[in-house]
Structure 1
Amino acid sequence: MNNLRLNDKWILVTGASSGLGQEMARQLANIHNANLIIAARRADKLQQLKTELEQQAGVKIKVVVADLSILEDADRLIAESIADGNLYGAILNAGVTYFGRHKQLSWDKFEGILKTNVTGVVRMTNALINYFDQPGKEGGLMLVSSMAGFFPVPYQTAYSATKAFINAFGNALHNELTNPDFSITVFAPGGIATEMTHGAEFNDLKGWLMPVQQAAKEAINAFTTRKYNYVPGLMNRIGNVFMNFLPKKFIGSRMSKVYLKSLIKSEK
């Protein structure tokens, strides 16, 4: 299977108004000369990014304002993205988290996490599979997940569970594909220094966070080289392998102490 060639191709990036999605959009445009469909909820942020990339990189940018926890918005985004048949790749990056005691997470907020991180992703993936998984259609899909989906993370319990679903969903679906020119990649980073991890509860964990520029670079490389499952950062990859040899209860206990310590400090 050949690597994806992004030059002058149309790529969809969700969650592009900030963080990893925004940085991937910048690198896709400035380094890979890709045309982009950028989607998120914040229209002002998307318009700023569109202006920046069109001026700096000279590429074409389409903006779609959408709340991907709403199925109608997810459907509309995909319909607009594939309408002309030119979509070459999609990076489903939009996601939300909750760092705190699970018993304090309201049902409404939990449903929001579930709808954004799982339901919307599955809805869009299903439509993209129908578009891409046919003879002669070259392209790729990348689902942005997390290492938190490999090893359950206390105090990010709901987020961790949704990412475990995405890891399993993406990897299993990869093996159902019939088109040899289409691939599904699961990108599973550890913590990244973004708006999502800017809160005080993450203060004691900031030393673990990967710079967003590095994470985006490795994400795009995993996407273009059609990796099956990719964890960015050498130490993260080593740790991911090593933790498979440890009891999951032990890992959860150690992580619980680290995360709770950071959480308690933020509450003082």
Structure 2
Amino acid sequence: MKVAGKVLVVTGAGSGIGQAVAREAVRRGARVAAVDLNPETLAATVASTEATAEATAEATAEAAAGSMSAHPLNVTDRDAVEALPGQVVERWGAVDGFIHCAGIIQPFVRLKDLDYATIDRVFGVNWSGTLYLAKAFLPVLLARPEAHIVNVASMGGFLPVPGQTIYGASKAAVKLLTEGLHAECAGTGVRVTVVFPGGVATNITSNSGVAIPLDGASASKQATKITTPERAARDILNGVEADAYRVLIGKDARLMDKLYRLNPRRSAALIAGKMEALLNR
């Protein structure tokens, strides 16, 4: 599905991948209903995107007049999510797809040290939020001539990462839900894509209330290996326009996808070895 001229809902639009996707979608000619839990960062995304559109020579008059609406919302609030499609249609006249980027990680601890409140919170955002969006938007999208659903899972959704076991389980659920939707929507106008980011330079740790116990040298080395949100956004929207089944973000995700399919046990041991020092800090 070509993005230009479409109305897209983008969650997690206040920062990180979601913010970059929202901005890139507008740059490509879409109108965006931007969704985020944080109204302040969401408003900043809208304001900066509008300012960029007005200052860009290639921006159309329509884009300069307004290409993004703000919808502060907690994806774990089912009633609020169920009301969202109507709000988007009221604002833009239609909705042609959603790109679900909102998500959180868990503290970097083993399962035995993780409390149930944190487990419930991670699954609430990552799994229940994804389910609510799919259930709310599917009837609307199935009525469109063409539409697209994108759910952002994680490399940790197909490869076990000690210290992120619950996060990985929630993203594995997102993976299978999305792949199931792809099968169920076959023969309709709705295309479905699942995205597997590796390391991306976002503030998901602070948004999740989590600290990564890395020293300065390790953090600096890690920063050179991860993908920018802007590159991730381009890859995701390229996937939408190519009707891709899956999109792998970053060299790390692409490499580990191949290794894990060749030798799951060895690949899991490799990641476990890298996480051991971090978990023992």
TM-score (norm 1): 0.88
Structure 1 match to 2:115: 106
Q: In structure 1, the residue corresponding to 2:18 is in which secondary structure? A: helix
Q: In structure 2, the residue corresponding to 1:86 is in which secondary structure? A: coil
Asked if 1:40 corresponds to 2:36, the answer is yes
One-letter amino acid matched to 2:183: N
Match of 1:256 among 272, 277, 281: 272
Q: In structure 1, the residue corresponding to 2:168 is in which secondary structure? A: helix
Deviation at residue 202 of structure 1 after TM alignment: 5.6
One-letter amino acid matched to 1:216: A
Structure 2 match to 1:165: 173
1:184-263 superposed matches below 5 A: 184-197=192-205, 199-201=211-213, 204=218, 205-234=222-251, 236-248=253-265, 250-263=266-279
Q: In structure 2, the residue corresponding to 1:68 is in which secondary structure? A: coil
Task: Structure 2: state its 5+ residue gaps.
Answer: 54-63
Structure 2 match to 1:70: 77
Deviation at residue 217 of structure 1 after TM alignment: 1.1
1:123-170 Cα shifts (integer Å, max 9, x gaps)? 110222211224x52111100111111111110011100111111111
* Distance (whole Å) between structure 2 residues aligned to residue 128 and residue 47 of structure 1: 23
Deviation at residue 46 of structure 1 after TM alignment: 1.0
Task: Structure 1: state its 5+ residue gaps.
Answer: none
* Distance (whole Å) between structure 2 residues aligned to residue 110 and residue 14 of structure 1: 21
The alignment yields a C-alpha RMSD, in angstroms, of: 2.0
* Distance (whole Å) between structure 2 residues aligned to residue 11 and residue 23 of structure 1: 13
1:207-260 Cα shifts (integer Å, max 9, x gaps)? 442222211111111122111111123553243122211142x33332122123
Q: In structure 2, the residue corresponding to 1:191 is in which secondary structure? A: coil
* Distance (whole Å) between structure 2 residues aligned to residue 78 and residue 213 of structure 1: 26
Q: In structure 2, the residue corresponding to 1:244 is in which secondary structure? A: helix
One-letter amino acid matched to 2:78: L
Asked if 1:60 corresponds to 2:67, the answer is yes
Match of 1:79 among 82, 86, 89: 86
Structure 2 match to 1:49: 45
One-letter amino acid matched to 2:87: E
Q: In structure 2, the residue corresponding to 1:188 is in which secondary structure? A: strand
Structure 1 stretch displaced more, 137-146 or 82-91: 82-91
Deviation at residue 8 of structure 1 after TM alignment: 3.1
> How many residue pairs were aligned?
259
Structure 2 match to 1:129: 138
Structure 1 match to 2:3: 6
One-letter amino acid matched to 2:119: F
1:28-83 Cα shifts (integer Å, max 9, x gaps)? 112x0211101111111111111111222124211111111221222232332245
* Distance (whole Å) between structure 2 residues aligned to residue 242 and residue 256 of structure 1: 14
One-letter amino acid matched to 1:194: T
Deviation at residue 122 of structure 1 after TM alignment: 0.8
1:161-206 Cα shifts (integer Å, max 9, x gaps)? 0111111111121011155422010011112111014643366444
Structure 1 stretch displaced more, 117-126 or 203-212: 203-212
The alignment-based identity, stated in percent, is 23
Structure 1 match to 2:154: 146
TM-score (norm 2): 0.85
Instruction: Confirm or deny: 8 A CA contact 1:202 1:263 kept in the other structure.
Output: no
